[in-house]
Structure 1
């Protein structure tokens, strides 16, 4: 009976947790089609409007750093309520701005407050799933992947009325998730940490843990590869291979499906073989796929070879990421919020380097993109080898 109740609780919570996590992807992807409209509306340049995306990512990273340790000290439920309320209010305020400076400032605040809601989710999953954390993370990620798949299309439809409607819809979405969270999130006493440490002490606990260090580096490098894909894929498909916008949308959606398939596969297998072995399998697939992509770019092979390499590569990135996250969380049972903040900030930090690196290496071909993806994976292999040697040494002591 207890197991049945637990299963029912999880089945209700997973879509809700995915909806909470999806707040930021929706806020990022839904307004992308409206960037040219925003530039005209505010009588400003396109680069300045594009900077609002970087400012959003910065605000989110800062929010993770602030709210992460608080999630280990205070009720995750309260932080979710705070984050969703702040996101709703700032979304509505964005519809009233009359300058790009006001828009950018509110986007920073919107991202900062949304981090309060999202930073608690991995800790809740770890509490509910225990040693099967990777399974829970995969389920949530698989559901959440729908957000970046449909958000640009939704934004394009809403844009036919006005760009303000995009933010009204975001506010409405956050309000619905708020109501769901109010009624469905577990009681505070079931999930919040009783460890009494200062914010600085919590960060010290995370950074001094040698066992998790190489998995954190792995998560960072996978993020670099993923942001390289996000940054370069439109240029590679639309400019280098000159596909149509419809073909690009189709290829992009197929890659998202590859991510979802990898997450589904992980949910089926991770309970039997464990996160460490699934991570190793993901690294093996990533090595083969990234090397194939690099070879296809060096030899200037047709589009189909690049597509066939990118599909398994994107799936393997998601498999590595979710299992690395699970292994990291398992090292910090009382500091899930803090380690989520560290992990998220490091991910966004190194991910932000993808654009400058690709711009520096630009040569009009897909080679810089393929090379950056491959180098990131090769460094992941080195990190995992070093982590393996460290674990072996610890076992021998």
Structure 2
């Protein structure tokens, strides 16, 4: 870790940053076991409730797009406090929703405002860890993974003694508690204010990021990997609950197993990446992802039992986490003065691509595990193609 980190307590800062980022997986995963109940109580269908997940992802992507340049102008601490406050209020409103259209609208607002809080985190990590950004990102990811690990089980537990509304009351309470810790402990980092304002600021900020040819392969890799991750996230209630008819309790256990694979990937990354670098680690993760993705698709085509599917998903999720952490790190290292905008580009493409998963699965009329397995494997193949083009271009430039 860089010496810059010694001026404050990273034992407090890293868990706090992870807790801020965790509002997104909590908002996504905690209500997954309640989807059937929500559909029943709002007198609508399961697919319409599933659409709320795509709406959340689209709202979050737009929020990242909007708040990224703002983070570079007003500072991270202030923006985090605004985002957490609005996220908490929208979560509170969701608890008292009684129709699906209001539910959709409030989920969009919840996601959009939540992005204001989470967009600040990578820039702070970049400032603290400098050239070891991938290590810092992995530490935060590893701590943050406790949220998706526990979220479905917490949602199932709440349903056992209360209603689905309590899930959103819990989210509101969580955001207000984190807001208090942000007020006390979150550091701010130097900002590099632009002379531009309004739309000119946004266009100029994004031009800096998107015009950088050396970052494009990693930006696309981050997007494709996230598409694969959201294929799993969007499909897992259908695959586990509807297709294989597991109980809500077993759903939480199986989901936790897959998330533990993500955590192991993050832990492995913190240990290996300082020695071999982010680029090589990304390649190793990609190789693992290709093998696991091919196995998942094969098992799905052969219609093997649930446990084969779960066993194939675990190493695939681990590899996706490794690829994402290193791709994001490689992007951020190129933009010291525009980390907020760089984070916004990553987040917008990541969650924007995730928002496409739900409609794609509807179009494919998913009645087995094959459509989601195919999409996940395709995501790995697209990532491999992006990295191959990057490698060939770099090799050609080096020979000139």
Q: Same fold by TM (over 0.5)?
A: yes
Structure 1 match to 2:163? 162
Question: Unmatched 5+ residue regions in structure 1?
Answer: none
Change (3 A) 1:162 1:357: closer
Structure 1 position 16 matched with structure 2 position 19? no
Structure 1 position 211 matched with structure 2 position 214? yes
Q: CA separation in 2, counterparts of 1:285 and 1:257?
A: 16
Q: CA separation in 2, counterparts of 1:142 and 1:351?
A: 21
Structure 1 match to 2:117? 117
Compute the TM-score of the two structures, normalised by the length of structure 2: 0.90
Structure 2 match to 1:345? 348
Structure 1 position 58 matched with structure 2 position 58? yes
> Which stretch of structure 1 is more off in the superposition, 363-372 or 273-282?
363-372
Structure 1 position 68 matched with structure 2 position 68? yes
Residue 202 of structure 1, CA deviation: 0.5
Task: Report the RMSD for the aligned CA atoms in angstroms.
Answer: 2.4
Structure 1 match to 2:369? 366
Question: Unmatched 5+ residue regions in structure 2?
Answer: none
Of 290, 294, 300, which aligns to 1:291? 294
Which SS does the other structure have where 1:250 is aligned? Answer: helix
Structure 2 match to 1:175? 176
> Which stretch of structure 1 is more off in the superposition, 346-355 or 335-344?
346-355
In the alignment, is the contact (CA less than 8 A) between 1:23 and 1:114 conserved in 2? yes
Structure 2 match to 1:150? 150
Which SS does the other structure have where 2:139 is aligned? Answer: helix
Residue 336 of structure 1, CA deviation: 1.0
Matches for 1:191-340 after TM superposition, within 5 Å: 191-197=190-196, 198-238=201-241, 245-340=248-343
Compute the TM-score of the two structures, normalised by the length of structure 1: 0.91
Change (3 A) 1:304 1:201: same
Residue 24 of structure 1, CA deviation: 1.9
Q: CA separation in 2, counterparts of 1:99 and 1:328?
A: 41
Q: CA separation in 1, counterparts of 2:88 and 2:241?
A: 35
> Which stretch of structure 1 is more off in the superposition, 293-302 or 117-126?
293-302
Structure 1 match to 2:385? 382
In the alignment, is the contact (CA less than 8 A) between 2:57 and 2:352 conserved in 1? no
Residue 267 of structure 1, CA deviation: 0.5
Residue 20 of structure 1, CA deviation: 0.3
Count of matched residue positions in the alignment of Structure 1 and Structure 2? 394
Change (3 A) 1:39 1:295: closer
Residue 302 of structure 1, CA deviation: 4.8
Q: Deviations over 1:228-281 (max 9, x none)?
A: 222333444455555555544333221111110000000011111111111011
